[in-house]
Amino acid sequence: MLIFNQLSTYLYLALALFAIGLYGVLARRNLIAMLISIELILNAAMINFMAFNRFLAPHPAVGQVITLFIMAVAAAEAAIALSIIVAVYRKLKTINVEQATELRG
């Protein structure tokens, strides 16, 4: 059994990517770094879809379609997030998430 022909390889790999991304979201203070981490998380999800599509799904085209949609949504998300970051920087003169505390309760 080849390593790259096993579903669990891909799942663990996606999991690792997801965990790394999650760590980045939780630990990084730079908004752009958080966005990069989110991109990693999205990629983990895409790997999952593609892996299930490859090994389990009845029709291989469906998973690819969904992956493409995720890409489109991720692109939109990145565009919005980046413009928000620019706006936040213009407003607060920082993109450090710990200093953007205007909504403190």
Partner 1 sequence: MGDPILLGCLATVILPLLAFAIIMIFTWRHHKLSLAISLVASTIPLIIAWIFFFKLAGLKQPIIYQFDWLISDQVKVPFGFLLDPTSLLMLVIVATISWLVQVYSIGYMGGDPGFGRYYAFLSLFAMSMIGIVISSGLLQVFISWELVGLASYLLIGFWYEKFSASEAGKKAFVVTRFGDIGFFIGLVFLTLYFGGLDIHSINTAAQTKAMPQWLLTTSALLIFCGVMGKSAQFPLHVWLPDAMEGPTPVSALLHSATMVAAGVYLMTRLFPLFAAAGPTALTIILAISTITLILSSTIGMVAWDIKQVWAYSTVSQLGFMSMGLAAAGLAGGTLFAGAFHLTTHAAFKALLFLCAGVFIHHFGTNDFFVMSAQGGRKLTIPMVTVTIAALALAGIFPFAGFFSKELILGSLAHLPNKIWLILGLLGAFLTAYYAFRVIFVMLFPRPKPPDWVQAQIDAAAGAGHGHGEEDTGHGHGHEAHHGVPLVMSLPLLILAFFTLILGFCQGWLEKFLLGESHPHDVDLVLLVAAVGCALGGMGVAWVDWGSSKARWEGFLRNFPVLENFFIQKWYMDHFWRWFLNSIIYGIFSKWFTYNDRRVVDGGVDAVALGTIGSGRLLSFIQTAFVQLNILFMVLVLAGLGIYLLMGR
Partner 2 sequence: MNFLSSLTTPQGVATIAFIMVVGATIAGALIAVLARNIFHNVLGLALSLMGVGGLFLYLNSPFVALMEILIYVGAICIAICFAIMLSEPLYLSKPPRNPLKIQGAVLGAGAVFAFLALLVKQTKWTPAPERSADWSIETLGHYLLKNYVLIFELVSLLLLVAMLGAIVLARGGRGSS
Summarize as ranges the residues that interact with partner 1 (CB under 8 A): 22, 25-27, 29, 97-98, 100-105
Nearer residue to partner 2 within complex by CB, 58 or 105: 58
Nearest CA to 50 out of 40, 60, 41 is that of 60
Select from partner 1, partner 2, none the partner in contact with residue 21, using the beta carbon and a kind-dependent cut-off of 5 to 8 Å. partner 2
Q: Are 53 and 63 in contact (CB under 8 A)?
A: yes
Which has the closest alpha carbon to 23: 41, 8, 11, 9? 41
* Partner that binds at residue 97, options partner 2, partner 1, none, CB closer than 5 to 8 Å by kind: partner 1
Q: Does 38 bind partner 2 (CB under 8 A)?
A: no
Q: Number of residues in contact with partner 2, rule: CB under 8 A?
A: 72
| Token code pair at residue 43 | 């990629």
Distance in angstroms (rounded) separating the CA atoms of residues 17 and 39:
10
If the CB atoms of residues 4 and 105 are measured against partner 2, the closer one turns out to be 4
